[in-house]
Chain A
Amino acid sequence: MNTTVAAERSRSQPLRLAALLKGERLTTLNLFATFILICLIFASQSDFFLTLDNFLNVGRTLGVVGIVSIGMTMVLISGGVDLSVGSVAALSGVVTSILWLQADVPLGLATVIGLGACVLVGFINGFFVAVMRINPLITTLASFSIVRGLAFVLSSGQTNQLSNPAFQFLGRGDVVGIPASLLLMIALFAAAFVVMHFTQFGRNLYAIGGSAEASRLAGIAVRRHLLIVYTLSGLLSGLAGIVIASQLASSAPRAAVGLEFTVIAAVVLGGTSLSGGKGTLIGTLVGVFILRVLDNGLVQTRVSSFYQDVVSGSVLLLAVGFDQIRQKLAAAVKDRS
């Protein structure tokens, strides 16, 4: 018996090192350091970069990606993925503008109905994933295509004006100098943070992503949770679509093309695992900041906008690649215990 105790003790020592190497705290810290580094590089290249005006510029662009990435983080943590977010964002703007312009529905109500359409899409995604048990990638690939098509059909491919001061406030207005969309995003992040870390629902999502079987055996209503998560992702994407429409004072069926890529990149950059059960909203927030600041910095340093795709793709691969190598090292350390 003595020997086993000794063996366990000797095992725990290197384990602690492995835990440190693997710890999320370090990931988030690394990420934050990366973020600072990027800021410093741009600051040295452009005088305008480190100004309040520019910060507000960045802030204005954060909202859309940030809001959608909240839902995406939850979906990924639950073990799924949602590729339809960009299409859904376009749908909410299109539905809202059509109802308002062509059916004379009051703008407020039209917006609510537009969001409702997105909720419905999210619910249908959830139905196929949770109840029909179709692979989420396939399901949302299909709805990606269907919903984008719907947006085009409904709008006949046209861009519609949505100029209304109250409506535009969300996208263009400020509250005590802070962009309204940014405030909305922060509020949603705070709410989602509380949900994910302090409520049963949030912890259940981690459990479902970690092991759907364990959750089912523990009596968690797995299907209902997944339905809610995808519905929520639909709602948040719709909300982002409203923000876009409000910023542009118009709705276009082409809006938010490729948004799913930016959002997944931000979330994965923030340390959320595609295999589910792991990730934090804080990490996602930092991920969103990094991608947006990169875009902004490239503009400030007068790099051709064509380079933005190249840079964001490279950053994603580099970040995830380094993370992978670090994990391998940590595993090697653990092996030696």
Chain B
Amino acid sequence: MRSVQMRSVQEIASLVVMLVIIVVVMSAASPVFFTTRNLENTLLDITTVGILAIFTTMLMIGGGLDLSIGSTLALGGVIVGVYQEAWGILPAAGAAILVCGLVGLINGFLVTYVGINPLITTLGMLSIARGVAFVLADGLTIPVFDLQGTQTDAYTLFTQFGEGRVLGLDTPVAVMLALFVLALLVMQFTPYGRAMYAIGGNYQASNLAGLAVRRYRMIAYMLSGLSAGVACVLLTSRLYAADPRAATGMELTVITAAVLGGISLAGGKGTLIGTMLGVLILSALMNGMKLLSTSTDAQNIALGLVLLLAVGLDQIRQRNFNIMRFLRSSRLVPEVARVSPAEGSQS
């Protein structure tokens, strides 16, 4: 029996080591990497992934999965773009956040009340939300700024979301950090966080213990959608444009970061700190490679390799997987040495 706290401390420590190694290597390779300016830019770049990752982590700890966040984000952005004139930019932004929350709510409803597999549900929603975004935008990128010059004040405020500064930080970074701290507190100290761990750990037992499992899980999906809404407003404000193609495949980056940070697809495990370290590791890697003028395609390869490496090493550590033993049993037949199903009870 290993102390669980010890294990998670070890996990976090190994992530920190990984991050430090990447930073050191990248700083050595590129003089630009470890400069305030570049680090600030990197932070700004990861805000979208970071915000999504926070809520994806909460959802995954509760045993859920949301592949539709990238599409939802694009849909939200398009809503801002399309309705900025008719409704005014700020109401449009509010509506975008609400619609994203609604998308999450529908996901949650389908998963918890109808009982569709989350992978299927959110894969379907990925397709639907992206499709609606394209339909609304007619496939075009929509500029988001005050074309008519009639709502100057509102746009000034709106651009603050993406470009303003709060407490010496870029607003998106500040928002991300605020959400992160809030989520951390929620997961650590409130019944909601406890419920997520309990439901992810054992759904049935949590239900029979009288927890409102469906409601909790549905809220987690809704929050996941809402986070896409918040991220889309920040992004649209920063880019002055809404693109129905935005954040394509971002769900994969987010899940990669979470899994890298120790979140299990089965739920019940992991921490937000781990996920954030995962996000930082990925972005340091990507940014460093960009500075070394590697193509974005090579960055994709690195992303996948890092994921496999992280999960593979973890597996080797956990199961004492022995490569020599495997090679010796060259016929690839199932290895027979194992412990019986009833682990833990030794009589």
**B333 near A: Cβ within 8 Å?**
yes
Q: Are A145 and B127 in contact (CB under 8 A)?
A: no
Q: Are B255 and A141 in contact (CB under 8 A)?
A: yes
> What residues of chain B lie closer than 8 Å to A309, measured between beta carbons?
127-128, 130-131, 134
Residue of B nearest to A137 (CB): B265
Q: Are A146 and B301 in contact (CB under 8 A)?
A: yes
**A112-170: which have CB < 8 Å to B?**
128, 131-135, 137-139, 141-153, 157
Q: Are B315 and A133 in contact (CB under 8 A)?
A: yes
**A40 near B: Cβ within 8 Å?**
no
Contact residues of A: prevailing secondary structure: helix
> What residues of chain A lie closer than 8 Å to B115, measured between beta carbons?
324, 328
Q: Are A268 and B120 in contact (CB under 8 A)?
A: yes
Q: Are A324 and B304 in contact (CB under 8 A)?
A: no
Say which residue of A149, A306, A312 sits within 8 Å of B304 (CB atoms).
A149
**When each residue 201-236 of chain A gets 1 if its CB lies under 8 Å from chain B and 0 otherwise, what string results?**
000000000000100100011111001000000000
> What residues of chain A lie closer than 8 Å to B125, measured between beta carbons?
313, 317
> What residues of chain A lie closer than 8 Å to B121, measured between beta carbons?
317, 320
Q: Are B304 and A310 in contact (CB under 8 A)?
A: no
**A281 near B: Cβ within 8 Å?**
no
> What residues of chain B lie closer than 8 Å to A146, measured between beta carbons?
300-301, 303-305, 308
**A293 near B: Cβ within 8 Å?**
no
Residue of B nearest to A136 (CB): B265
**A285 near B: Cβ within 8 Å?**
no
Q: Are B311 and A321 in contact (CB under 8 A)?
A: no
In angstroms, Cα B119 to Cα A175, docked, is 39
> What residues of chain B lie closer than 8 Å to A308, measured between beta carbons?
131
> What residues of chain A lie closer than 8 Å to B296, measured between beta carbons?
152
> What residues of chain B lie closer than 8 Å to A220, measured between beta carbons?
334
**B256 near A: Cβ within 8 Å?**
yes
Most chain A CB neighbours (cut-off 10 Å) among B116, B127, B298? B127
**A52 near B: Cβ within 8 Å?**
no
**When each residue 282-315 of chain A gets 1 if its CB lies under 8 Å from chain B and 0 otherwise, what string results?**
0000000000000000000000101111111110
**B295-340: which have CB < 8 Å to A?**
295-305, 307-308, 311-312, 315-316, 319, 321, 326, 331-334
Q: Are A134 and B334 in contact (CB under 8 A)?
A: no
Residue of B nearest to A303 (CB): B135
Residue of B nearest to A264 (CB): B123
Say which residue of B124, B138, B297 sits within 8 Å of A149 (CB atoms).
B297
Q: Are A138 and B304 in contact (CB under 8 A)?
A: no
**A261 near B: Cβ within 8 Å?**
yes
Q: Are A274 and B332 in contact (CB under 8 A)?
A: no
Say which residue of A213, A316, A321, A325 sits within 8 Å of B341 (CB atoms).
A213
Residue of A nearest to B319 (CB): A133
Smallest CB separation, B334 vs chain A (Å):
5
Q: Are A149 and B116 in contact (CB under 8 A)?
A: no
**B126-168: which have CB < 8 Å to A?**
126-128, 130-132, 134-135, 138-139
Say which residue of A227, A265, A268, A324 sits within 8 Å of B332 (CB atoms).
A227
In angstroms, Cα B312 to Cα A275, docked, is 23
Say which residue of A132, A142, A148 sits within 8 Å of B321 (CB atoms).
A132
**B239 near A: Cβ within 8 Å?**
no
In angstroms, Cα B319 to Cα A304, docked, is 52
B contact residues, total (Cβ < 8 Å): 51
Say which residue of A131, A152, A306 sits within 8 Å of B300 (CB atoms).
A152
**B259 near A: Cβ within 8 Å?**
yes
Say which residue of B295, B315, B316, B332 sits within 8 Å of A223 (CB atoms).
B332
> What residues of chain A lie closer than 8 Å to B291, measured between beta carbons?
none
Smallest CB separation, A135 vs chain B (Å):
5
Q: Are B332 and A134 in contact (CB under 8 A)?
A: no
In angstroms, Cα B317 to Cα A134, docked, is 13
**B117 near A: Cβ within 8 Å?**
yes
In angstroms, Cα B131 to Cα A272, docked, is 25
> What residues of chain B lie closer than 8 Å to A306, measured between beta carbons?
131, 134-135, 138-139
**A224-276: which have CB < 8 Å to B?**
224, 227, 253, 261, 264-265, 268, 274-275
**When each residue 65-101 of chain B gets 1 if its CB lies under 8 Å from chain A and 0 otherwise, what string results?**
0000000000000000000000000000000000000
Say which residue of A128, A138, A307 sits within 8 Å of B259 (CB atoms).
A138
**When each residue 48-77 of chain B gets 1 if its CB lies under 8 Å from chain A and 0 otherwise, what string results?**
000000000000000000000000000000
**B114 near A: Cβ within 8 Å?**
yes
Q: Are B117 and A142 in contact (CB under 8 A)?
A: no
Q: Are A221 and B304 in contact (CB under 8 A)?
A: no
**B247 near A: Cβ within 8 Å?**
no
> What residues of chain B lie closer than 8 Å to A307, measured between beta carbons?
131, 135
> What residues of chain B lie closer than 8 Å to A144, measured between beta carbons?
252, 304
Q: Are B332 and A135 in contact (CB under 8 A)?
A: no
> What residues of chain A lie closer than 8 Å to B250, measured between beta carbons?
none
Q: Are B300 and A145 in contact (CB under 8 A)?
A: yes
Residue of B nearest to A145 (CB): B304
> What residues of chain B lie closer than 8 Å to A142, measured between beta carbons?
256, 303-305, 307-308, 311
**B102 near A: Cβ within 8 Å?**
no
Smallest CB separation, B278 vs chain A (Å):
13
In angstroms, Cα B337 to Cα A36, docked, is 53
In angstroms, Cα B121 to Cα A268, docked, is 11
Say which residue of A135, A149, A222 sits within 8 Å of B298 (CB atoms).
A149
Q: Are B123 and A265 in contact (CB under 8 A)?
A: yes
Q: Provided the pairs A309-B134, A317-B110 are in contact, do residues A221 and B334 lie with their beta carbons within 8 angstroms?
A: yes
Q: Provided the pairs A152-B295, A223-B333, A227-B332 are in contact, do residues A134 and B326 lie with their beta carbons within 8 angstroms?
A: no
Pick the 10 closest A-B CB pairs, nearest first. A309-B131, A313-B127, A149-B300, A152-B297, A146-B304, A310-B131, A145-B304, A149-B301, A313-B128, A306-B134
State the B residues within 8 Å of A (CB): 110, 114-117, 119-121, 123-128, 130-132, 134-135, 138-139, 252, 255-256, 259, 265, 295-305, 307-308, 311-312, 315-316, 319, 321, 326, 331-334, 341
> Other CB < 8 Å A-B pairs besides A138-B311, A142-B308, 4 of them?
A137-B265, A149-B298, A314-B128, A317-B128
State the A residues within 8 Å of B (CB): 81, 128, 131-135, 137-139, 141-153, 157, 213, 216, 220-224, 227, 253, 261, 264-265, 268, 274-275, 304, 306-314, 316-317, 320-321, 324-325, 328
